Chain A
Amino acid sequence: DADVTQTPRNRITKTGKRIMLECSQTKGHDRMYWYRQDPGLGLRLIYYSFDVKDINKGEISDGYSVSRQAQAKFSLSLESAIPNQTALYFCATSDALGTGTGVLGSGANVLTFGAGSRLTVL
């Protein structure tokens, strides 16, 4: 099983519908993130959570909400989807701290990504 699992992988919906994207992880990481990827724009941070009681807005949080149900689960909701929310959404996790051992090491900025959820809003 993947370390970070996103469901659904693909979703087509209509304008005005409520959508939830779910993310679960087996890494044991404290920190979880939701990013949005658009061609030519890279990845932009929507929301992030450093622990179960900590939720923070990212650079593009308008129109989105999140819930951290447990250390391992972080869901993203679109209360009323609109076409410009059509994008590829990624969940990611990271350690709060890391030893930095090995070529890559670990640490707060070493993100482990899920495979992505492609959302199309018609």
Chain B
Amino acid sequence: AQSVTQLGSHVSVSEGALVLLRCNYSSSVPPYLFWYVQYPNQGLQLLLKYTTGATLVKGINGFEAEFKKSETSFHLTKPSAHMSDAAEYFCAVSEASGSRLTFGEGTQLTVNP
């Protein structure tokens, strides 16, 4: 079975500050890992994904995440937060390409001016 835990349901940062959203996963086989973002009143959009290869993954809008097998983590970072980054972020895991995604509980990011 696979699962995802997102540490912190709410994160607040100042504009220009580092964004760090935490995600830990559990999987019995090598995982595929994803971050999705949900802006207000919209569906989810893919930010980035890790399948195989390089463990540091770059996504859209300046976000990146690093797969750390030893820590079973896939934390999302952005060096400098913008007001437009305010949204809910979801980490997700699957056990193989084509299998179902399991989502975490979500982290609401607030960016203060």
Contacts and interface: CB of A to CB of B under 8 A. Distances in A.
Contact of B97 (A58, A92, A103, A109): A109
A42 B4 CA distance: 10
Nearest to A95: B98
B23 to A, nearest CB: 11
Given A42-B103, A42-B105, A43-B103, A107 B97 contact: yes
Interface string A77-104: 0000000000000101000100010011
Interface string A35-52: 100001111110010000
Contact of B32 (A43, A45, A92, A109): A109
Interface string B77-113: 0000000000000101010011111011110000000
Most buried by A among B4, B43, B92, B98: B43
B44 A90 contact: yes
Contact of A115 (B4, B43, B48, B59): B43
B48 A103 contact: yes
A55 interface: no
Interface in B1-40: 4, 9, 32, 34, 36
Nearest to B34: A109
B60 interface: yes
B45 interface: yes
Interface string A102-117: 0111011111011110
Contacts of B43: 4, 90, 92, 113-116
B60 to A, nearest CB: 6
Contacts of B34: 109
A45 B100 contact: yes
Given A108-B97, A110-B49, A115 B42 contact: yes
14 contacts: A42-B90, A42-B103, A44-B103, A45-B100, A103-B58, A104-B49, A104-B59, A104-B60, A109-B97, A113-B43, A113-B44, A113-B45, A114-B43, A115-B43
Given A42-B103, A107-B51, A111-B36, 6 more contacts: A42-B90, A42-B105, A43-B44, A43-B103, A45-B100, A111-B101
